[in-house]
């Protein structure tokens, strides 16, 4: 995954931290250590504030992770595998491999996260009560964590897709009407309406009450929600228009293959003549790898005459191969996951059948949506 660092695996699910998360982590630790904790208790040494600030930020991170694990756990129980969990600037995302087949499954998956946050809030509140007056640093920290987990649960229950509340809303709508497509559309529209309320509310607070930090934060959250809701909407449309399409419908059988023994200079001539930028590297019809623009760019031009295709190609075992009966929506997800713009279609014995390109897939989806599949 791009821009993310893998930190480990829990229940077999890879856990990633997006780099934006470090910004929020540092920001939170500083604000807590310099501002929040000193305003509560004023006679501790700075080291205690900093230790508390960092511990609280780490426990907040663990809380977010538990929230996402709760979603993932229910998802796996419902038979839907979870590919990964990524923690980023506003929280986390569990990458569920496909949508739920039943509204009740989606409802339970969506509720699991906020429920776990409420539970955590209760546990931290219990610790706060037990340590109050006994060990103040822990009491202050637990009190803060109780509050922020409760906030997290409430914020996530805002009924705009793709927030958890939006998923709850979608599943209920889906349950009542039996119409999954319409439920998704309505939940995405709700997400956008809520995002505009946040944005305009933030601007209003900034101008009317001169509360810059609060106002701008609200607008920023609104903007983020808007991007997420619009993205989900487009995604839903795309899924709709690719419904029922499989690889054999969109395969491009006209591909060019080259030998690994060619030099880059020779391939360059080939490119200039054909205008094609992608080649399969083969030896007696068996796939060895692929050669695209990025493979070329890794070698300085003066070495093109002496460098062979076999030395710089992407090897077949690093390539994602697909089959004729694979679902177009899944192929697109695979491409997104690995950041690929093309994939090779093979038969049962890994014999090459053709290519699927992202451009072609998108064009196909667009035509279908314009003609109203």
Nearer to Zn ion among residue 33 and residue 156 (C-beta)? 156
Among 15, 53, 80, 113, indicate the residue that binds Zn ion (CB under 5 A): 113
Total number of residues that touch Zn ion (CB under 5 A): 3
CB of 372 to Zn ion, least distance (A): 34
Nearer to Zn ion among residue 57 and residue 156 (C-beta)? 156
- The CA distances from residue 366 to 316, 326, 332, in Å, are 31, 20, 14
Which residue, 133, 181, 151, is CA-closest to 64? 151
The yes or no reply on residue 106 touching Zn ion (CB under 5 A) is: no
CB of 147 to Zn ion, least distance (A): 18
CB of 99 to Zn ion, least distance (A): 16
CB of 69 to Zn ion, least distance (A): 10
Nearer to Zn ion among residue 149 and residue 156 (C-beta)? 156
Q: Which two tokens stand for residue 192?
A: 């956008």
**Mask of contacts with Zn ion, 279-318, x by CB under 5 A?**
----------------------------------------
Cis ω for the linkage preceding 161 (within 30 of 0) = no
Question: Do the Cβ atoms of 192 and 230 come closer than 8 Å?
Answer: yes
**Mask of contacts with Zn ion, 134-173, x by CB under 5 A?**
----------------------x-------x---------
By three-state DSSP, how is residue 64 classified? Answer: helix
Question: Distance between CA 262 and CA 122 in Å, rounded?
Answer: 66
By three-state DSSP, how is residue 157 classified? Answer: coil
Nearer to Zn ion among residue 40 and residue 90 (C-beta)? 90
To the nearest 10°, the Cα dihedral for 33, 88, 190, 114?
A: -70
Question: Distance between CA 33 and CA 84 in Å, rounded?
Answer: 32
CB of 18 to Zn ion, least distance (A): 16
Binding site for Zn ion (CB under 5 A): 113, 156, 164
């Amino acid at each position: 995954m791009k821009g993310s660092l893998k930190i480990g695996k829990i229940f077999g699910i890879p856990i990633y931290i997006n780099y934006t998360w470090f910004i929020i982590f540092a920001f939170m630790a500083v604000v807590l250590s310099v501002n929040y904790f000193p305003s509560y208790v004023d006679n501790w040494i700075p080291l205690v504030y900093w230790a508390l600030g960092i511990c609280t930020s780490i426990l907040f991170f663990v809380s977010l992770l538990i929230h996402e694990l709760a979603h993932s756990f229910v998802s796996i129980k419902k038979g839907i595998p979870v590919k990964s969990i990524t923690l980023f600037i506003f929280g986390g995302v569990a990458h569920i491999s496909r949508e739920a087949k039943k509204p009740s499954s989606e409802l339970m998956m969506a509720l699991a996260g906020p429920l776990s946050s409420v539970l955590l809030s209760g546990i931290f509140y219990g610790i706060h009560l037990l340590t109050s007056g006994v060990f103040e640093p822990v009491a202050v920290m637990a009190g803060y964590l109780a509050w922020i987990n409760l906030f997290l649960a409430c914020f996530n229950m805002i009924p705009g897709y793709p927030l958890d509340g939006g998923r709850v809303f979608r599943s209920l709508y889906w349950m009542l009407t039996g119409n999954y497509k319409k439920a998704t559309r309505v939940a995405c529209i709700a997400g956008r309406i809520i995002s505009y309320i946040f944005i305009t509310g933030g601007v209003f607070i900034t101008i009317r009450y001169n509360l810059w930090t609060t106002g701008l934060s609200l607008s920023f959250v609104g903007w983020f929600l808007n991007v997420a809701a619009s993205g989900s909407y487009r995604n839903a449309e795309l899924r709709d228009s690719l419904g029922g399409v499989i690889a054999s419908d969109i395969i491009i059988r006209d591909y060019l293959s080259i030998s690994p023994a060619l030099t880059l200079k020779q391939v360059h001539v080939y490119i200039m003549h054909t205008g094609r930028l992608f080649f399969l590297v083969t030896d007696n019809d068996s796939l060895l790898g692929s050669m695209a623009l990025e493979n070329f760019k890794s070698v300085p031009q003066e070495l093109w005459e002496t460098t062979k295709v076999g030395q710089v190609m992407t090897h077949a075992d690093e390539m994602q191969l697909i089959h004729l009966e694979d679902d177009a929506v899944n192929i697109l997800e695979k491409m997104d996951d690995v950041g690929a713009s093309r994939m090779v279609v093979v038969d049962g014995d890994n014999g090459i059948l053709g290519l699927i390109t992202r451009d072609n897939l998108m064009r196909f989806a667009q035509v279908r949506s314009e003609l109203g599949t």
